[in-house]
Every structure is written in structure tokens, then in C-alpha cells.
Amino acid sequence: MKVLFLTLLLGVVCAAQAKEAEQNLSELSDQWRTVYMGSTNPEKIQENGPFRTYFRKVVFHDEKGTVDLYFYVKRNGKWKNVHVAGTKKDDGTFAIDYEGQNEFKVISASETHLVAQNVNVDESGKKTEFTGLFVKGSDIEDEALEKFKEFTRKRGIKEENIIMNHIFLPLDNCLPGKKEKASQ
């Protein structure tokens, strides 16, 4: 009987902690940089691909159940500043309209890193899974990189379909019209 009670209590505590973590996404709102990306369709994250994104800011609104993503993509050699908004669904993912329909979700987070997943179904109906590692500042912690790689493997994304974004500039250097200090 005691074992049953302790098991039930542990389940309630774990469920409460998971719900609390889910409700505190607004604490993650800040400037974030894309450092690694993985994809089941590598063409979408290659040079000039629609998901070769350089995140600069993520804003979660827990009370509204929304997220705002601010990032750059480089198309035909020119930077495009993109802002997309998403609405939280019952399963904890955010529905976002960008290059088709997307379901975005934070998988792991700390004060210094985010590991996220995005599932995209493009206009032709093709489904692609993405994983991303985003950091504040310029340091990539080993633990964060391992979490990203482990999650990426679990999603069935091959290691050769992981790229490191080698543009790692101050955020305003990527603005359209600014001189680019590193080549892509």
C-alpha cells in the first residue's frame, strides 16, 4: 500500500513539475543565436535554404499562449529579416505558418541554451523534421551540444544532416544593409 501511495505521489509531483516547466517559457524570452541545425531533408538547411535560419530573438507570451520568433535567412546572397508568430496548441507545440505549416517546441532549456524541434509540412505536403541548438553569447557548452546531438539522433536525423552555422556575429551585423564580417 505504501509503495502504491509513493508511486502515486511521485507521479503527481512529476506531472506538476512538467506543467510548471511548460508554463514558464516566458522566462526563456531573450536573444538567441542558432549554432547547430539538423534536418531530415538537408536541402532545407543548406546555403540559401528556407530553414537555414539565424535566430536573433525568441519571445514567449505564456499568458497569451503565443511565441514570436525573429530570425534572418539569406536568400540569393541577401539577408531577409523574418518575424513569425505562433499559437500554443494543447500538446505544448506552437503552430507557426512559415514555408508551410510548422509545429515548434522547446525540448531542453537553460539560461544559456535551447534545444528545439520543428516539424514542417510544406506546401507540397512534404514533412521535414528539424532540430536546433540555440545559445546566448558565444559559448557552446558540451552538455548542451550533447543534448542536441542525442535528441537529433532520436528523431532519426543522420549526423551528416547536421550543420554548424559558422556565422557567429554580433546580432546587428546580420541586418540587411550592414556589412557582413564573415562569409557564409
Angle ∠(172,131,127) on CA atoms, nearest 5: 115
Candidate from 23-32, 79-88, 128-137, 168-177 with smallest mean pLDDT: 168-177
Instruction: Provide the pLDDT confidence category of residue 31 given band limits of 50, 70 and 90.
Output: very high
Q: What pLDDT, on a 0 to 100 scale, did the predictor assign at position 68?
A: 98
Q: What pLDDT, on a 0 to 100 scale, did the predictor assign at position 75?
A: 86
Whether 86 has a pLDDT exceeding 70, the answer reads yes
C-alpha cell at 126: 512534404
Mapped onto helix, strand or coil, the DSSP state of residue 129 is strand
pTM of the predicted model, to two decimals? 0.78
What are the domain boundaries of the chain?
28-174
Q: What's the rounded Cα separation, in Å, for the pair 29 and 27? A: 6
- Partners of 162 in the β-ladder: 38
Q: What pLDDT, on a 0 to 100 scale, did the predictor assign at position 167?
A: 59
Q: What pLDDT, on a 0 to 100 scale, did the predictor assign at position 1?
A: 52
Angle ∠(151,153,155) on CA atoms, nearest 5: 70
- Partners of 87 in the β-ladder: 66, 95
In CATH, the architecture of 28-174 is: Beta Barrel (2.40)
